[in-house]
Amino acid sequence: MTRSVGIVIHKVVPSFRLAVARFQYNMASKMYSHQGYKFINCGYADMEGDHKAVDFNRPENVYVLWESLYQRVVGQAELSGREVLEVGCGRGGGSEYLMTRLKPRSLTAVDLSDVAIARCKENYRLDGLSFQVGNACALPFEDRRFDVVVNIESSHCYPSQLTFFEEVKRVLKPGGAFCFADITESAEHTARINEEFKALGFTVVHHENITANVVKALNVVKETPQFTEAFERWESPNKKGNMKVPLMVINGTLKDLNSGKEYQRWVVRREEATERPVAGEQARAAAAMA
């Protein structure tokens, strides 16, 4: 099979894309099983900050760039005392941060990778925090379950972003908030997401292009010896000396963001109860009447 045919299949066959994503993240979880490797997403750096003065070897500073991204994405939403869902939790560091720093009543974290979820269950045991395997385009929860849904740098792997957004709306309570961030292919892709939110009845509370902040954070990680040393410590012993996956991903992401792709974040709110039902709710209502 030629590369071009493979690309076409990857784009048009959702089940194939899902299987590839699961395989990739399962392999990454196996290669980097160390508890210290908590994040696989990009970070966020203040454009005015001097990160050369930061000692990233200090325990309180190791994850500051990644934690800053989470804080920036959820900054316009209230999590304290709320029922929160994180979709695409990855290695669980973001879920731990949200639970310990922002104090939701409960936080349910899901990911497609069963290996990643097993690691999360092993590494994080906090009251109110739970992990389970779940498909973002078919979330295993009842309608109107959560006050806040968080999704950071994961949706670009999904078979359909629009289907995911529909699922988010379904599981959000009326008035609930969706905190979302990801890399978009272009300004046109960003505009399409805004239109999809509008069509689904979401109100955009905040929208921000944070490409420059993410690029700065990636460069800080790439250029700081402490992080190279940390990635080597975190790599599984049986993989020592092989490809340095985190640094390869950083270089690839920097290339993307310097070539026209953008890193955007949104906080949107589901309308109150007077809105029309989303597709999943319509289907269930029809089935109940049959």
pLDDT at 267: 98
pLDDT at 37: 83
pLDDT at 31: 57
Q: Hey, CA dihedral for 178, 14, 134, 155, is it positive or negative? A: negative
Tell me which residues of the chain have a pLDDT lower than 50: 1-11, 243, 275, 279-280, 282-290
pLDDT at 3: 35
C-alpha to C-alpha distances, 137 to 35, 88, 165, nearest whole angstrom: 28, 11, 8
pLDDT at 8: 40
Domains and CATH numbers, the chain: 3-289 (3.40.50.150)
pLDDT at 207: 97
Query: What is the Cα–Cα distance from 157 to 155, expressed in whole angstroms?
Result: 5
pLDDT at 121: 96
pLDDT at 25: 56
pLDDT at 11: 45
pLDDT at 253: 94
